[in-house]
Amino acid sequence: MSTIQVQTPGLQTTVQDLGRNGFGPVGVSPSGAADPISLRLGNRLVGNDESAAGLEMMLLGGTFSFPDGTILALTGSDFGAMLDDVRLNVGASVEARPGQTLRLGPTNSGARCYLCVQGGIAVTPFLGSASTHILSGLGGFEGRALRKGDVLRIGSATKPFRKRTIAPEASEHLSRRNVMRVTGGPQVDWFSESSLRSFYAGTYRVAEQSNRMGLRLEGPAITQLGAGQMITEGVSLGAVQVPAGGSPIILFVEQQTTGGYPKIANVIAADLHRVGQLRPRDEIRFEEVTFDASRSLLMEQEKLLASRELILE
């Protein structure tokens, strides 16, 4: 069986697939790739099922060698990858010969880069998924981020190499944006008109303490009207919750499953992958859309992802 040898792990490199859904009743959040669209595209470039497991790198990539060679693709943000001495662009499949080394550096664009290999990363699934849930130490490779010296197994791969790239118009459509589209949150009426105005007019900066559980935002403080006593309830992916201090937090893929803070808004499904590309100190704004509009945007995005023209051979 082929392997990936981890020579340096990067800042936080984890095994991720599209997550495990359905375990809310035991308090397990789905986890999965922070930018699932990049992972899906990477898998298609190497001829995998879209949901195969790959490596998610954050801000600073690692160095990996392939003793038996592999077919690989990088997607998401550009981490200045080199295969031996050849510069690799994101969004294209490439064949690594036995003994070649892939080196990634700091990001040149967004927060996350994905490495997909033909056959996928083979780990023992936890609740049907290969995704790492860092906080609880579950899933992925030993429930943790990769370390120097780790050896990952690659699933069986039999297809011949084919050069594939992502169509430029698709890359354009999926590119980074600094406006996050949201729908109103379940406790939107807990906030005053002026708070809502400053939330939608203001610019928020992603704080350093952001991670896969949540992105903390710095910007105009949001005050609650202050009458109600919140009873802990289930929280959805992309919920923008506002703790007593008034600084909003976007709940993300490794989120807590329930919480007791009011939610002012929720990032729409079609923009969640963009949240996964936000770096600390990035500045964002929020724009409200209707539920009908968010549904159209999601359908349009999925139509693009399903199209034959998306991947050029």
Partner 1 sequence: MQRAASELARFQTASDQSLLVYFGRQITLGAHQRVRKLLGLLEREPIAGVRNLNPAYCSILVSFDALRLNHRGLEEILRGYIDRLDAMQIPTGRELQIPTCYGGEFGPDLGEVASLRGMTPDAVIELHASVTYIVYFLGFVPGFAYLGELPEALATPRLDSPRRSTPPGSVGIAGNQTGVYPFATPGGWRLIGRTPISMFRADREAMSFVSIGDRVRFTPISAAQFAATERG
- Whole-angstrom distance, CA of residue 3 vs CA of residue 102: 13
Tell me the H-state helices in the chain. 36-45, 168-173, 193-201, 272-275, 291-306
> What is the three-class DSSP state of 181?
strand
Least distance to partner 1, CB of residue 259, Å: 7
Could you tell me which stretch among 52-60, 193-201, 276-284, 287-295 binds partner 1 (CB under 8 A)? 287-295
Distances (CA, A) of 188 to 233, 240, 296: 15, 10, 23
Distances (CA, A) of 45 to 26, 103, 187, 212: 35, 20, 42, 25
30 binds partner 1 (CB under 8 A): yes
Could you tell me which stretch among 37-45, 148-156, 217-225, 252-260 binds partner 1 (CB under 8 A)? 252-260
Sole binder of partner 1 in the list 26, 160, 227, 308 (CB under 8 A)? 26
61 Rama class: left (phi>0) / alpha (psi -120 to 50) / beta: beta
Least distance to partner 1, CB of residue 228, Å: 9
Within 202-231, the residues that bind partner 1 by CB under 8 A are: 231
109 binds partner 1 (CB under 8 A): no
Least distance to partner 1, CB of residue 27, Å: 4
234 binds partner 1 (CB under 8 A): yes
Sole binder of partner 1 in the list 92, 157, 167, 269 (CB under 8 A)? 269
List of residues 6+ apart from 123 with CB closer than 8 A: 15, 53, 130, 139, 140, 141, 152, 153
Q: Phi, psi at residue 297, to the nearest 5°?
A: -65, -40
Measured N-to-C along each axis, helices 291-306 and 36-45 cross at an angle, to the nearest 10 degrees, of 10
258 binds partner 1 (CB under 8 A): yes
Sole binder of partner 1 in the list 11, 22, 67, 179 (CB under 8 A)? 22
Contact 75, 91 (CB under 8 A): yes
Least distance to partner 1, CB of residue 111, Å: 21
Within 110-139, the residues that bind partner 1 by CB under 8 A are: 126, 133, 135-138
Binding site for partner 1 (CB under 8 A): 21-28, 30, 126, 133, 135-138, 183-186, 231-239, 256-259, 263, 266-269, 291, 294-295, 298-299, 302
